[in-house]
A and B are shown apart, each in its own frame.
Chain A
């Protein structure tokens, strides 16, 4: 396919248009992805996550500058929320990244969640595949502003960075399950603000408590203080990421392989789930009892959801 050649050669327009097809779930995009896949595996993937307004976009912008200084090319996927009412979205992460607009070594794409809840989009991992095949050395994924439970990014990125700011709730927040567990690196941004010492202390305690996991895992999460709008702490953040990368690559063949395998396994499971779901739902509406009729029956207590699901699964998957 001609488009495959063009993307591997780094053509921006073809890449951008394929990303659109992936997001819009156009069937032919899968064929292109299939051919691109053999050209992937070279990029290092960094994920940024954290609550809205903590400074993710600004940090991503700064980090991109840092990697460009090293001569690395950078791809950025930045996610913002879709309106649950209109299906529309305002994607504003680029506002913080303007200095890169004319740099051919940086490709930025804004994505809308389109109803997906894990912090990234359904399409994100496929888009990483494309940017990897196009030759970007570093791929940075910025999640939508998240709360406590959006942990998908940890399975998409090689290094996951959790960004927080001083004064985000008490010390119980830090020991809760969920998002606080996935950071390989913690960034305390806006570190000039009051309470930053306390936040760092709480994070230290959190890491301390997690030391049992560390024994099996081998990596002690790093804490970095930054003041992204003033470019402060960015070199330290860069060093922390490179340290984590070096750790993954040097802790033995097994370690890196485990990270890569985990990523592939989860994406495979997701793809199976996604396609099986679509196939079954598509067939449902062609069958003798469409979805609407099932809903009616359940509401009128003529049937129960458990039996209907069992029937469908037995019929479709034997």
Chain B
């Protein structure tokens, strides 16, 4: 390995809510932390999110959601990743979640949930600490 890996993150907003200020702010924070951020805008279906994540070969999918539809979209994303043998892609979530939902989301494999008030620095630090660099494709 000559230079080391650059982390790639997909920031996606699943579902019908059109409030992407939070997603844009976190995309910017990831950019400033030195990551390559793929930003696809609002109204993404879980199918579109997973297809993009695979084509772009991201390390992390960050799902931003404020509508309450996480109980549908988050499990669907996890299911599709599994179907496509892409479970190695880490999924994290940010937005508004009822407290009792958070353990359920973690149970299905969402690695971390960031609620309102989470510091940008803490989120980028989390990514830097928890994401391991990819092995070479030739070794697969």
* Residues of A in contact with B (beta carbons under 8 Å apart): 1-3, 12-14, 16-21, 23-29, 31-32, 82-83, 85-92, 94-95, 98, 101-102, 107-110, 112, 114, 278
Q: Quick check: B6 and A16 within 8 Å, CB to CB?
A: no
Given contacts A17-B57, A24-B3, contact A95 B41 (CB under 8 A): yes
B46 → chain A closest CB, angstroms = 11
Given contacts A3-B137, A12-B54, A107-B55, contact A90 B37 (CB under 8 A): yes
Given contacts A20-B8, A25-B3, contact A87 B47 (CB under 8 A): no
Residues of B within 8 A of A94 (CB): 38-40, 52
How far is B32's CA from A82's CA once the two chains are assembled, in angstroms? Answer: 10
Q: Which residue of B lies closest to A23 (CB)?
A: B6
Q: Quick check: B1 and A102 within 8 Å, CB to CB?
A: no
Residue B129 lies at the interface, judged by CB distance under 8 Å to chain A: no
Interface residues on chain B, size class? 35 or more
Residues of A within 8 A of B138 (CB): 1, 3, 18, 21, 28-29, 31-32
Q: Which residue of A lies closest to B1 (CB)?
A: A26
Q: A20-B134, A21-B137, A89-B37 are in contact. List 9 more A-B contacts (CB 8 A).
A: A1-B138, A16-B54, A23-B6, A26-B2, A28-B138, A86-B31, A88-B37, A107-B55, A109-B56
Q: Quick check: A91 and B37 within 8 Å, CB to CB?
A: yes
How far is B6's CA from A71's CA once the two chains are assembled, in angstroms? Answer: 36
How far is B37's CA from A94's CA once the two chains are assembled, in angstroms? Answer: 12
A86 → chain B closest CB, angstroms = 5
Residues of B within 8 A of A14 (CB): 137, 140
B21 → chain A closest CB, angstroms = 15
Q: Quick check: A20 and B32 within 8 Å, CB to CB?
A: no
The 8 Å CB contact of B1, one of A27, A32, A278, is A27
Residue B35 lies at the interface, judged by CB distance under 8 Å to chain A: yes
Q: Which residue of A lies closest to B7 (CB)?
A: A88
Q: Which residue of B lies closest to A96 (CB)?
A: B41
Residue B97 lies at the interface, judged by CB distance under 8 Å to chain A: no
Q: Quick check: A101 and B31 within 8 Å, CB to CB?
A: no
Given contacts A32-B137, A95-B40, contact A88 B51 (CB under 8 A): no
Q: Quick check: B31 and A90 within 8 Å, CB to CB?
A: yes
Given contacts A3-B138, A26-B1, contact A86 B55 (CB under 8 A): no
